[in-house]
Amino acid sequence: MPDYFQYPEKNTSPMNKVLFSTISKKFIMALAGLFLLMFLPVHLAVNLMLLKPDPEPFNKAARFMATFPLIRIMEIVLFAGIVIHITTGLIIQIQNWLARPVGYAGGSKSETSFFSRYMIWTGASIMIFLVLHFFNFYFIRLGLVPGNPDDFYTVAHNLFSIPAYNYIYLSCFLLLGLHLYHAFSSAFQTLGLNHRIWTPVIRIISLIYSVAIPLGFGIISIIIWKFR
């Protein structure tokens, strides 16, 4: 049969493959991101114990998280979520740069596009902070860095007494807030959970979440730094 009587196969063009690949990566990144969003309030609740004058509650919680089997499994899942989220985010950003090597010549940009454009940089700053955080705490627990793994209360208070550490800490959580504001709502949009009623509600929740979580961590830092 002549070629002109044959119908082309659907969704086999390179453009469709690239589009499907990008959507798949965004879907995976959204799922990993939502999982990480659930972890932050738990981490904040534990860190609030640092404000107690008695170090035992925080140290007891730290020991529980380090020894309880289910927590250890969730810790592995958490690390996997961080790696997946960061890796897919980098791949998507590199694909976007390669697809559009020249920036916009002009025109107005929406608020959403503003946060979206800088997600890679806010995410990179958070990754740097995570490395620093793991170095100061997780690596102590592994015995790779000097420190007492049974007294993370003192380790944390000593770190928060260093001005430079507080500047880095507060700056990273400020950038985390910007990252969370866009990430929270865009994750639901990526998963196709758009609704004329619930989408505005999700945006309000994302705003509250992106302010409350960094503010909570920041208050802990400032109180220990300035008043302890």
Q: What is the pLDDT along the chain (228 residues), one digit of tens a residue?
A: 444 344 444 444 454 444 445 556 666 666 767 777 888 898 899 999 999 999 999 999 988 887 877 777 777 777 777 777 777 777 777 777 777 655 444 444 444 455 566 676 777 777 777 777 777 787 888 778 888 888 999 999 999 999 999 999 999 898 888 888 877 777 777 667 676 777 888 888 889 999 999 999 999 999 999 987
Determine the Cα–Cα distance for residues 228 and 218; give it in Å rounded to an integer: 15
Say how far residue 172 (Cα) sits from the centre of its chain: 11
pLDDT at site 191? 67
Quick one: pLDDT at residue 196?
75
Residue spans of alpha helices (H) in 103-197: 111-117, 119-133, 139-142, 152-160, 163-190
Per-residue model confidence (pLDDT) at position 183: 76
Run of H or E residues at 53:
none
Give the relative orientation of helices 163-190 and 198-227 as an angle to the nearest 10 degrees: 170
Q: What's the pLDDT at 107?
A: 44
Contact (CB, 8 A) for 116 and 181: no
pLDDT at 9: 47
Handedness of CA 139, 43, 82, 159 (dihedral sign): negative
Per-residue confidence (pLDDT) for residue 106, from 0 to 100: 46
- Give the Cα separation of 182 and 203 in Å (integer): 9
Q: CA–CA separation, 8 vs 5, rounded Å?
A: 10
Q: What angle in degrees, to the nearest 10, is found between the helix axes of 56-67 and 152-160?
A: 120
